[in-house]
Amino acid sequence: MKTRKLLKVIWIVGITFILNRVINIAIANSAEQTFPNRNIALVVPFPPGGLVDLAGRILAEEFSKNLGTSVIIINKSGGGGAVGWREVMQSKPDGYMLALIPNSLILIGSHQSPDVIQFSDATFIARFVSTPNLLLVRKESPFKTFEDLINAAKKNPGKLAGSGGAVTFGGYFTFQLICQEAGVNIRHVPMQGGAPTITALLGGHLDVGVVATNAVVGLLKAGDLRALVSSSVKLPEFPDIPTIAEKGYPNAAFGLWVGIVGPKGMDKSVVDKISKAFEKSVRNPAVINKFAETGLQFDYLRGQEFVKEIIRDTAKIGKVIEKSK
């Protein structure tokens, strides 16, 4: 009798397990077949008008078309990007809430706010555009070349003033990398973004500034600012601007990029659908041209290759933070 009851219990448990497996597979297949069946929120964790917001608005229409549903840009600013990041990472991993992030958010945030920004919280889908930071002086500056600035800084340690924005910005780390690699002491003045840095530079309150290319294209063309060096790559529109590597400091190379991410735990089939539609969208020549017009360069890296780059750059940023203490 006991044996019969035991067999019955085992049979019930086995059937229950099989049914659960069948149901889960059916749900997964259903999600794959029906996704997307409603609008997708593409969160920009910064105010409108910035680099990330601009990139998102350029691609949103094409992304909507290729994904077959409306992709809606939602600005969720606060905490240097942490508010928007947290909302997306805590959302249901069904593909209906994604985020566009700059490298500064994950690379710097993971060091400075590890309780909020954690690499393991996200599904990294792709990087799609990048732009170098530029080391800038105003047109009246006596520094005509990168060498002029470095020589003056070596002769007058701590006397020159510069800014790369706030300490959570990529520009700040470009600034620190250049100073550390060149062995100079230029006093850093914190600024809340590229716009205040540009204003202070034009007003003569700073000797040098580090700002993303897209923010100063017009000022460069007008001759109001002069770029001494690009932090990473050559710019087709400004071929005379040398790179930091060309000046003998390859380890100081550090540009900005924007990528698309979702919360951890997303179904692979959903990620694949998003990834294919997204890549098709950003590879559209019209979209690439719009990126270029604003100083953004198409720079695609998907999946695991994207993750490998983040891991490498996170280690690089960690060394900068340690040296700057």
Nearest partner of 132 among 299, 270, 320, judged by Cα: 299
216 burial (CB, 10 Å; 0-12 / 13-18 / 19+) is buried
**Which CATH number is 230's domain given?**
3.40.190.10
**Which CATH number is 306's domain given?**
3.40.190.150
Residue 112 and residue 142 in one domain: no
38 SS3 class? coil
The answer as to whether 219 is a domain residue is yes
Q: Which domain holds residue 157?
A: 133-252
Final residue in a domain of this structure, among 252, 284, 309: 252
The answer as to whether 60 is a domain residue is yes
Residue 163, pLDDT score: 96
Final residue in a domain of this structure, among 252, 270, 300: 252
Residue 261 and residue 243 in one domain: no
Final residue in a domain of this structure, among 252, 278, 308: 252
Residue 103 and residue 143 in one domain: no
Residue 291 and residue 239 in one domain: no
Residue 26, pLDDT score: 47
Residue 240 and residue 281 in one domain: no
Q: How many CA atoms lie within 13 A of 55 on its CB side?
A: 31
The answer as to whether 117 is a domain residue is yes
The answer as to whether 182 is a domain residue is yes
Residue 265 and residue 246 in one domain: no
Can you list the pairs that 203-207 forms with residues at least 24 positions away whose Cβ atoms lie under 8 Å? 204/138, 204/140, 205/161, 206/161, 206/162, 206/163, 207/137, 207/141, 207/143, 207/149, 207/160, 207/161, 207/162
Domain count, the chain: 2
Residue 319 and residue 279 in one domain: yes
The answer as to whether 273 is a domain residue is yes
DSSP state of 299: E
Residue 48 and residue 83 in one domain: yes
Residues 6+ apart with CB under 8 A from 322: none
The answer as to whether 25 is a domain residue is no
Under-70 pLDDT residues of the chain: 1-33, 325
Residue 191 and residue 46 in one domain: no
Residue 21, pLDDT score: 57
Residue 81, pLDDT score: 87
Q: What is the pTM of this model?
A: 0.80
For Cα atoms 282, 283, 287, give the angle at the middle one, nearest 5 degrees. 60
Is the Cβ–Cβ distance between 109 and 85 less than 8 Å?
yes
Residue 112 and residue 219 in one domain: no
Residue 205 and residue 297 in one domain: no
Residue 2, pLDDT score: 47
Residue 59 and residue 195 in one domain: no
Residue 6, pLDDT score: 46
Residue 95, pLDDT score: 98
The answer as to whether 29 is a domain residue is no
Residue 195, pLDDT score: 86
Q: Report the distance separating Cα 227 and Cα 216, nearest Å.
A: 10
Alpha helices in the chain (DSSP H): 2-34, 51-67, 82-89, 103-112, 146-155, 170-182, 194-202, 217-222, 268-282, 285-293, 303-324
The answer as to whether 30 is a domain residue is no
Residue-wise pLDDT tens digits, 263-276:
999 999 999 999 99
Residue-wise pLDDT tens digits, 112-166:
777 778 888 999 999 999 999 999 999 999 999 999 999 999 999 999 999 998 8
